Amino acid sequence: MAQKRPTSVKQVEKTKPSDAPASREGSVLRENRPATHEGRLPWGGLALGIAVVAAIALTTYTWPTIWDVENSAFVRDTRSQIERLSSSYAVCTPGRKGVYTVDADNARVECIRVQGDEIADVGDFDAVNQRWTAEMPWFLSAYPISLWAPELRVKEVDEDSIIVPGLTDSHCHVLEYGAFKLIPLEKGKSIPDVVKYVRNYIMNNEEIYGNMSKPVLGWGWDHTTWPEKRFPTAADLEADPVIRGRPVILTSKDGHAIWVSQRIIDENLAHIPDEVPGGVIFRDADGKPTGAFLDSAQDVIAKPSLTDADLRKRLMTAVRDAHAFGLTSVHDAALLPESLAFFKRQAEADALPLRVFGMKYFNEDDWSDDAADMIDAFDQHLVSRSIKIFADGALRTGGAALYEPYADNPDSRGAMRIDPALLQKVIPRFMANGWQVNVHAIGDRANGIVLDAFEAALANASASGFALVNASASALRPRLEHAQLMTDADIKRLGKLGVIASVQPTHVIDDMWYAEDRLGPSRIRGLYAFRSILDAGARITLGSDFPVETMNPLAGFYAAITRVTYDGRSPQGPGGWFPSQKLTRLEALRGLTIDPAYASFSEDRVGSLEKGKKADFVVLSRDIMSVPVEEIMGTKVLATALDGRVVYGKL
């Protein structure tokens, strides 16, 4: 039953990947089907086969069972074993070690073998095939009965392609991405331009156009790109006759501001306070809200309820793009109760086609640290055992909490969105009950305050009733979401405490153009200091914060290792912005695979291509670990597999 080794890729005809976006149509991989045995089985071989089966049955099972051979335990077990092995397939990079396993040794091999939803074997082809053959019932391994045995199906990838574990985005917003795709607000380069996109969306959706009460929701406007250099107002929306009088809520690109219509203001006016701690309400000369609400002030506006059909549409929009970009897992950062409930319903219906590690949104007015609220439905693709707290705002909008005033706004140090005393109270409570605590922290002051709370929780571990392993935060793997600006002392403390830094490299090549004006030439060195964080002994996991940035994880990979724009520019030249803070390619790959698996307590099940783990893998058209950096962003995803099943492209 010897299986032929895959033909050299140089000797077979293949479809070369084009420079166009990967298509769902057309085969991108070639299956190497073993040659079948020809001719009839010799009568002697048939007789021998019958004799062997009969002998085994006689020595293993009771005599009455033989009269019902079809239903005998022996036949059932043998058939089940053969069917199980026959369903296996191997994906190989023939003649080269093009499979990056990302295991503890960062081993590279030739093949992985998939059986069901798991990886059954990893290694070079000859060894994988030999082990597969050895799993066959012993009587099928000898000639001539071996002629009946199945052979391992082998699928070869293109000679330029590689195989990596399924990729993970460790900080994103899935349903918000679906909303972002509805109206292309980010394309609007002025206030009237954005209003035009909203108008077109309404006019092109009959359900909305004919119903003045139907909410219009969107995501993605960016006031920093507008010539007006101001925040938008409700009056800007009311100026359009199609929009006027409708309930409109538009979220900014960074998620830290909303722009609402006059109808929304009127409907919420009775609940809008004079001030909101950690937030800003823009007002006119008479003190009336003008339509823009920043950070915590967003919470004073009641959000409309969405149906499961609305949410499902958003989910599937995000899932389709995620699979096309090679994502098999995401960490959804701050799920509102209704969003988390929706994901739970999808998981219970086995209708969640993406692994979701959901962070429960912390509402300081209504919160619970009860461990019973955790969700562990890994096989249904949903786990929620972390709480997401917002410490401050964003650097782009001047809301990040700093120790010293902004260089371009000396009257402001930003603001904390939560009282530090409350952080000191709730973080130990959640950790004591087994929750992972993930805190959004952008500014150096916010990061310092959060680390103070983590450190205090460790110091009081015994009093809190939860014994942290080795008195280290790594037992519950707390995370700083963003960890953008940190002092040298806090970077060292990050590593000492074992707190994970969940970072977004594409923010680097976006913010680098204005950050020094905002922070000054000295403080800027602590911004996005990835290398310093790793050198301090902390673990980094990579995300995109989509829809704030592109969903494509290769963009984060590229930004992490180059710190230049996609056309090779930076404020410090083509060598990169603060190039000493670059990650290596291996560090970046691990930051998209095994490190986020660790950060979501699932490193024993996903994150690397190892025997026994879920068969989540991606076929890339180019070897991103060796091609010139200029070619990385031209890499296409040829196939994405989740639980061993191809969900994008073809094998």
Question: What would be the CATH architecture of the domain defined by 171-300?
Answer: Roll (3.10)
- Two tokens, residue 120: 């059954």
Question: Is residue 249 pLDDT above 90, yes or no?
Answer: yes
The torsion angles phi and psi of 387, rounded to 5 degrees, stand at -110, 140
Tell me how crowded residue 566 is: count the other CB atoms within 10 A of its CB.
Answer: 14
For CA atoms 276, 279, 285, 289, the dihedral sign is negative
Domain residue ranges in the chain: 9-166, 171-300
Question: Residue 39: pLDDT above 70?
Answer: no
Question: Cis omega (within 30 of 0) on the bond before 137?
Answer: no
* 87-91, 163-167, 570-574: the lowest-pLDDT one: 87-91
Higher pLDDT, 325 or 21: 325
Question: Would you give the DSSP letter of residue 134?
Answer: H
540, 530 in Cβ contact below 8 A? yes
pLDDT at res. 18: 36
Would you call 596 helix, strand, or coil by DSSP?
Answer: helix
Distance from chain centroid for Cα 80: 36
Distance in angstroms between the alpha carbons of the first and the last residue of the chain: 24
Task: Check if the beta carbon of residue 326 is closer than 8 Å to that of residue 638.
Answer: no
Q: How confident is the model at residue 126 (pLDDT cuts 50, 70, 90)?
A: very high
| pLDDT at residue 258 tops 50 | yes
d(CA 123, CA 70): 37
CA distance 453 to 441: 13
| Alpha-carbon distances, residue 181 vs 214, 334, 426 (angstroms) | 18, 19, 36
CA distance 263 to 252: 19
Residue 516: phi and psi, rounded to 5, are: -70, -35
On the question of a cis peptide bond just before residue 144, with omega within 30 degrees of 0, the verdict is yes
Nearest in space to 341 (alpha carbons), one of 375, 368, 371, 365: 375
Q: Fill in the DSSP letter of residue 51.
A: H
Average pLDDT, the chain: 87
> What's the CA gap between 640 and 163, in Å, rounded?
10
Least confident of 42-56, 353-367, 445-459, 525-539: 42-56
Residue 183: which of 171, 169, 199 has the closest Cα?
199
pLDDT exceeds 70 at position 5: no
Among the listed ranges 39-43, 141-145, 494-498, which one has the minimum average pLDDT value? 39-43
Burial of 305 (0-12, 13-18, 19+ CB in 10 A): exposed
